Amino acid sequence: MIKFLDLQAITMRHGDEIKAAVNRVIESGWFLQGNENKQFETNYAKYIGTESCVTVANGLDALKLILRGYKEMGVMQDGDEIIVPANTYIATILAITDNNLIPVLVEPTWDHLEINIDAIEKHITFKTKGVMIVHLYGRIAYNNKLGQICKKYDLKLIEDCAQSHGCAWHGVRTGALGDAAAHSFYPGKNLGALGDAGAVTTNDSKLAEIIRALANYGSHKKYVFKYVGINSRMAEIDAAVLNVKLKYLDEDNAQRQKLADYYYTHINNRLLILPTRIKDEYNVYHQFPVFCERRNELQEYLKKNGVQTLIHYPIPPHKQECYKAWNSRTYPITEMIHQQELSIPMNQVLTRPEAEIVVDVLNSFK
Ligand SMILES: *Cc1c(COP(=O)(O)O)cnc(C)c1O
């Protein structure tokens, strides 16, 4: 069976170095808010190209804390609207509703799979305070027009970079394109820790300072509490592991890009649609989605022939039970994506012979 994602193989690629880093933390006896986190914040801010990086417990917290930070600053208030793609992982939407803000769902385009930037302006009201884009599947969700819209209407541009570590637009990395960005280091992401971990990157030092306090019980000074905060911190062990793995991120992404090139040149089954390649983007292929009207049958066929796949995602946010009030709405493109999407194996440890099998099985589906 060709695994969709072999986390053991991915970790063991740098196993000795990772184990040494973990050992170093164990022996130091210092497990939170230490040098490893400090180091990672410096390294990751430099990698992304922002002034600040604040480590937190996970990607969802990173998203939530950005919005919470803007509320503390008076930029946003309960009931304000945030424009967001209708096709995203639920966490993006949860972060908005958790802050008593209103997600305004905007359809993606079918060929781009990311929010339709040309449709954003007509959704802007007097309550709109921000646009939260998601660089889904490792693809860019930004263009210059979006930057101009946000400037014109004075909207905060927030990036969900949970799937886009290293992705760039004209040489500027995602995480440095907007006002603030959330990153997830969930083990299965392009840059993954040994458990949950996340970070915020921003050039807004005031926002960074507030988020740092919010994530630490609302305290910026020991035993003094300025905000009603939460506890959201990255373990030193995870920061140590990420300090090792960050060094190899570009190399890993290059491997993914080579595999994507191979897929684009060799998959030729007319029953499948591959995502359009976007000029000017540096795609880091967190996922390689293929689209098929008989998606479930295709998944079964691949499984029978030894290829494991995953669906990202089977049910769109507006059809989820947790957002019952939206269940009767229709977002046709979003729904089509959720009905037809299938993610095939895409990672830095898939071998050439394995890729050949994936392609052969895909091409023999009738
Ligand atoms: C993984 C993911 C998140 C959440 O990150 P966690 O670290 O799992 O909380 C948010 N948004 C998107 C698009 C994701 O893929």
152, 131 contact by CB (below 8 A): no
Residue nearest ligand 1's atom 10 by CA: 91
Q: In this structure, what token pair is assigned to residue 344?
A: 């095939």
**pTM for the predicted model, two decimal places:** 0.98
Q: Is the pLDDT of residue 281 over 90?
A: no
Q: What is the mean pLDDT of residues 264-291?
A: 95
Say if strands 288-291 and 341-344 run parallel, antiparallel, or are unpaired. Answer: antiparallel
Residue for token pair 């926002």:
207
Q: Is the pLDDT score of 46 beyond 90?
A: yes
Collapsed DSSP state (helix, strand, coil) of residue 341: strand
Mind listing the pLDDT tens digit for each residue in 157-203?
Answer: 999 999 999 999 999 999 999 999 999 999 999 999 999 999 999 99
- 51 vs 48: CA distance, rounded Å: 9
- Percent of the chain at pLDDT exceeding 70: 100
Q: Which atom of ligand 1 is nearest to the CA of 91?
A: 10
Distance CA 201, CA 51 (A): 8
Instruction: Give the position, in ligand 1's atom list, of the atom nearest the Cα of 92.
Output: 11
Cβ(196) – ligand 1 distance below 6 Å: yes
What pLDDT is stored for residue 68 in this prediction?
Answer: 98
Task: Give the residue-averaged pLDDT of 215-219.
Answer: 97
Q: Is the CB of 149 within 6 Å of ligand 1? A: no
d(CA 89, CA 134): 9
Pick the atom of ligand 1 nearest to 58's CA: 7
Per the CB < 8 A criterion, the answer to whether 4 and 299 are in contact is no
pLDDT tier for residue 280 given thresholds of 50, 70 and 90 = confident
Neighbours of 330 (CB within 10 A): 8
Ligand 1 within 6 A of 58 CB? Answer: yes
**Given the structure tokens 């807004």, which residue do they identify?**
204
Instruction: Quickly list DSSP for 80-94.
Output: -EEEEESSS-HHHHH
Could you tell me if the CB of 164 is within 6 A of ligand 1?
Answer: no
Binding site membership of 128 for ligand 1 (Cβ less than 6 Å)? no
Which of 56, 160, 337 is the best mutation target for the ligand 1 pocket, counting ligand atoms within 8 Å of the beta carbon and taking the most? 160
Cα 214 from Cα 232, distance rounded (Å): 8
CA distances from 102 to 69, 91, 181, 226 (A): 16, 14, 19, 26
Tokens of 160: 């969900």
What's the whole-number mean pLDDT along residues 78-90?
Answer: 98
Evaluate if residue 279 carries a pLDDT over 90: no
Average pLDDT over residues 114-125: 98
pLDDT score, position 120 = 98
Can you say whether residue 69 is alpha, beta or left, with left for phi > 0 and alpha for psi between -120 and 50 degrees? alpha
The proportion of the chain whose per-residue pLDDT surpasses 90, expressed as a percent, equals 98
Average pLDDT score, the chain: 97
CA of 223 to the centre of ligand 1 (A): 31
Helix (H) or strand (E) holding 28: helix 15-28
Contact assessment for residue 120 and residue 131, using Cβ atoms and an 8 Å cutoff: yes
- Cα 39 to Cα 46: distance, rounded to the nearest angstrom: 11
- The rounded Å distance from CA 60 to ligand 1 centre is 6
Decide if pLDDT at 284 tops 90: yes
In this structure, what are the phi and psi dihedrals at residue 102, rounded to the nearest 5 degrees?
-105, 120
DSSP string, 224-243: EE-S---B---BHHHHHHHH
Confidence band, pLDDT 50/70/90 cuts, at residue 278: confident
Of the candidates 64, 129, 156, 189, the residue annotated as catalytic is 189
d(CA 314, CA 329): 17
71 noted as active-site residue: no
What does the alpha-carbon distance between residue 11 and residue 191 come to, in Å, rounded to a whole number?
Answer: 11
Q: 312-364, pLDDT tens digit by residue? A: 999 999 999 999 999 999 999 999 999 999 999 999 999 999 999 999 999 99
pLDDT of residue 169: 95
Helices marked H in 247-331: 249-266, 295-304
Q: Do residues 121 and 131 make contact, with C-beta atoms less than 8 angstroms apart?
A: no
pLDDT for residue 49:
98
